[in-house]
Structure 1
């Protein structure tokens, strides 16, 4: 039991989502950490009490796939707005991608980005370092205090300036990653194959033809290549934004064979189909593309089976002006860190209405908290237990509400989910025991999120 005189805050509720399951109890918090999760409300004089009632008390969520656009692309998004959107969605830790201007391909670039973010973040954070296609062997020397993960783009798009096109260089990256133990995260599309198809049939001229011009062929071929490289060299590979049934089958087979291949499913691939892209146009223009209903069904089934290691938003905002360009010129990507948890929760409750909500809450925590914390080596994150960081989200599972533009916090100011009726709502978010988002007052805390650096590794 925690020393009572060190308890500063007690969060009480009937639905604490702990590693052992959902239980009633009290979370005792002091000095930014969880001191105990207990049946007894042993609150010393002067300690604050927060009663969650029948709302779920979740560990702070982790979005391991965001593009907060700092540095160089802050007309689309910046760290202040991105972290506001995150905490409004219950997310207290993010892992940011390297395709900025300039791209973060070296330790020096990462430390410089950390300096730019300092004092402007509501969330704790790490950075995926980018693979330099000209120097893949540098991954063998990557120190864990710099980054425990490296992003590889296997295909290019508007904000991916460092694409690995040479198969020999890609293989060198896997060899180097196996030597250092760095976790690879991959945008797995075969860019050369997509270019070949474009040279034959032309680039998509309308959103009615978009998915057919950015087909599953490119992703399946790339995922198969990744699986073979993992089999050959033993590197750990995490495939981002899995989009098709065939990819899910390939990775599931690799996992069953004991290969260290994991995958992410995004909120938008669970929420939209190619029919939505025909209707919404650029708002759901993505790379890889949104696919058909059968693919979406397969991804949901994988989630129900517990197969993905992470759920990610791939929060990649663009301005309205950029998104209203021609089909050829409009960039792929959408904002999503604020919408991620509620969109997935809404989908689970609609698809599986007979499921015990406690089971759904544990699934959400597994894929949006404990799973990414384990995969990306984030001690203290992703669990509601003594010794963990006091990052919490108070989540009302039965709340029903419509998402409108005035509720959005991303700098771009739009969402593909506008007009959706959502089930579930984040009432409060706490980071290190301090409230950083309160829905009732629509207020935020102070910008002091920490870089998860060497001392936490």
Structure 2
């Protein structure tokens, strides 16, 4: 299959010390120094004990978090690079505090085999500011691939249970879905699922006909399809013991179902996206195609339930579902407008702003620890990303600085996604990422507007995943 560059290679021989008054560690937020050599964290100490010639970075009053992990991006390579590519997508990522992403398989051609993963990796080599992993896509006709999947190439597989414009394969046959769950269990593969029931959508489309407005579209993609699909996932996880992660969960009922399943010990988890925390169906009247999404944006009660889940430690991950399309594509008509929006640059800013405004009585340290958990330790554990997501000795020296009280407005000129637009244009955010380091080197510096080296690595793992349900007490 060809050589795979391991994530354990030394990548930087410089010695650096980062000094912080708000260092976000697994044990809490505290003052400290992060000592870095050969791209790794060598020590986390109370004082600077490095040699005089070491490079020094003072984070000041900024929080220093582990480099964030977005486990749900579509960087569109190969085949769809007219609307996004790894140069632009990874710029957006590091500006948003991310140093690692896990990319989705719905490209052209789709990433449905180990060979396709290696081909995609070769194509983006030298073009990425971030380290990366790929979700392999499920080939409904060959689910047995998952039973023998090499974890050095992928530890997770994406299943589309419902179709949309960019879904390469949709599992409509219940027997195929069951075989996929059985094969994933046999291979120890983490399933990630777009969990909506395609048959229910077909039924509604046949009855109601084509939508005439974006509001009509949302009515044809109701919450009931997600509820039905999540119930199916829970039953299959019960039958086979498969680890299943529900992506972009959008409704209160789905959240309740997954939490109830977890309470019985089933290995079912879920993700919440920034856009489901940010927009409601009332925004569709104003933004139209920009918030046409799959799953659809729901109501205020659903958004409130998802925020409640975030505060209670119920999701395992937060994700951007960064899925850019050009403005021309998004505005070509209700039936042909593809779902999706750019989000990796905005995600952590959105969540930080939301936490500060929804819970003003909460100490900012609590919000910082929560952000480090959902966008650091938890996805690192779930997707077996060794060395990522925590500021501890031996970890990769991936760090990001968050100025917690900076207030700023997002404009189209700020957008680094290749599509050039954001549904958040005109939003005023609290908090800004001012510097991002990967492997001990700066890949984004807000003071200069400069990016670093495009030498992000394909990450591999053969380690067993840690429990993802143990949420730290400060979350």
TM class by shorter chain equals over 0.9
The answer on 1:440 being equivalent to 2:440 is: no
TM-score (norm 2): 0.94
| 1:18-167 equivalent positions in 2, closer than 5 A | 18-167=25-174
1:113-156 deviation digits (Å, cap 9, x = unpaired)? 00001100000000000000111122111111121000000001
Q: Give the SS at the match of 1:367.
A: helix
RMSD: 1.1
Deviation at 1:205, TM superposition (A): 1.5
CA distance in structure 2 between the aligned counterparts of 1:362 and 1:449, rounded to whole angstroms:
26
CA distance in structure 1 between the aligned counterparts of 2:204 and 2:455, rounded to whole angstroms:
47
In the alignment, what sits opposite 1:179?
Answer: 186
In the alignment, what sits opposite 2:298?
Answer: 291
The answer on 1:282 being equivalent to 2:289 is: yes
In the alignment, what sits opposite 1:420?
Answer: 427
In the alignment, what sits opposite 1:301?
Answer: 308
Contact 1:7 1:44 in 2 (8 A): no
Deviation at 1:455, TM superposition (A): 7.7
The answer on 1:17 being equivalent to 2:24 is: yes
Contact 1:7 1:28 in 2 (8 A): no
CA distance in structure 2 between the aligned counterparts of 1:8 and 1:117, rounded to whole angstroms:
28
In the alignment, what sits opposite 1:191?
Answer: 198
Deviation at 1:456, TM superposition (A): 7.9
CA distance in structure 1 between the aligned counterparts of 2:210 and 2:154, rounded to whole angstroms:
37
Q: After TM superposition, what 4+ stretches of structure 1 lie above 6 angstroms from structure 2? A: none
Q: Size of the alignment, in residue pairs?
A: 452
Contact 2:248 2:272 in 1 (8 A): yes
Contact 1:230 1:236 in 2 (8 A): yes
Deviation at 1:204, TM superposition (A): 2.4
CA distance in structure 2 between the aligned counterparts of 1:339 and 1:61, rounded to whole angstroms:
13
CA distance in structure 1 between the aligned counterparts of 2:446 and 2:165, rounded to whole angstroms:
35
CA distance in structure 1 between the aligned counterparts of 2:168 and 2:66, rounded to whole angstroms:
35
CA distance in structure 1 between the aligned counterparts of 2:324 and 2:463, rounded to whole angstroms:
30
In the alignment, what sits opposite 2:334?
Answer: 327
Q: Give the SS at the match of 2:215.
A: coil
In the alignment, what sits opposite 1:266?
Answer: 273
CA distance in structure 2 between the aligned counterparts of 1:204 and 1:277, rounded to whole angstroms:
14
Q: Give the SS at the match of 2:214.
A: coil
1:159-192 deviation digits (Å, cap 9, x = unpaired)? 1021111000000000011111100000001011
Structure 1 unaligned residues grouped into runs of 5+:
1-5
Contact 1:61 1:93 in 2 (8 A): yes
TM-score (norm 1): 0.98
Deviation at 1:454, TM superposition (A): 5.2
The answer on 1:223 being equivalent to 2:230 is: yes
Deviation at 1:209, TM superposition (A): 2.6
Q: Give the SS at the match of 1:113.
A: helix
Q: Give the SS at the match of 1:303.
A: helix
CA distance in structure 2 between the aligned counterparts of 1:212 and 1:326, rounded to whole angstroms:
16
